Structure 1
């Protein structure tokens, strides 16, 4: 079975038995929430719908986005990401992983963001 791995350079720090999840975070300057829905496939992480609750510095809303329930919704056509590379520092705050109707800080599985290790990768992997 396939799942979601979190780590760096192919080294697994945590493995979650997920087939889909939402990655959420707050923009570091504007403090506006972003959310991206992913499916975990053998080819990698497939981005579905994305949402943002506003716009501001470096946060352009795509032309085809539509407003629903206070968020702009849109889709990007990207190849599966394998891995999805994320910057992660104490100053920026933590990402959240949302699944099964709950959101939890990424630090739940991999510890708090650390300036000495300012990145993390997410990828589809075989569950052990």
Structure 2
């Protein structure tokens, strides 16, 4: 089964498994943050998070393990969310790298936030 994710008005194919990853650079700490997400009938659920270091507002989960230079953990989300809002500070020098079936960079030159949600259907 293939799935799809809407990023504003753009549809992004995810391929088998209905999962995607997001990766970006923290605007203050300048370290890389990576999250894996899954689309379910209830909404979006984070399945894995990882950071290359820590800092203000970037504390790893309590079960984090160091793997190949990344602090990796499984987020304990209380419930699925209907959408993710990616807010741009303009201070990162780049956007969000979203990977599903292929990878795209979102928000590199965005004037405002980008909302991700499952495709209707």
Q: Map 1:1-128; keep pairs closer than 5 Å.
A: 2-7=3-8, 13-18=9-14, 19-78=18-77, 79-92=79-92, 93-100=94-101, 103-107=103-107, 112-114=109-111, 118-126=112-120
Q: How many residues align?
A: 115
Distance in 2, matches of 1:14 and 1:5, equals: 6
TM-score by length of 1: 0.78
Q: Which runs of 5+ in 1 are unaligned?
A: 8-12
Aligned partners of 1:2 and 1:126 also within 8 Å: no
More helix, by proportion: 1
Residues 52-71 of structure 1: CA deviation (Å, up to 9, x unaligned): 01012222122211111110
Aligned partners of 2:50 and 2:60 also within 8 Å: no
Q: Which runs of 5+ in 2 are unaligned?
A: none
**SS of the residue 2:91 aligns to:** helix
Residues 38-90 of structure 1: CA deviation (Å, up to 9, x unaligned): 11222211110110010122221222111111100111222111111121243
Deviation at 1:37, TM superposition (A): 0.2
Q: Which of structure 1's runs of 4+ aligned residues deviate more than 6 A?
A: none
Distance in 2, matches of 1:59 and 1:33, equals: 10
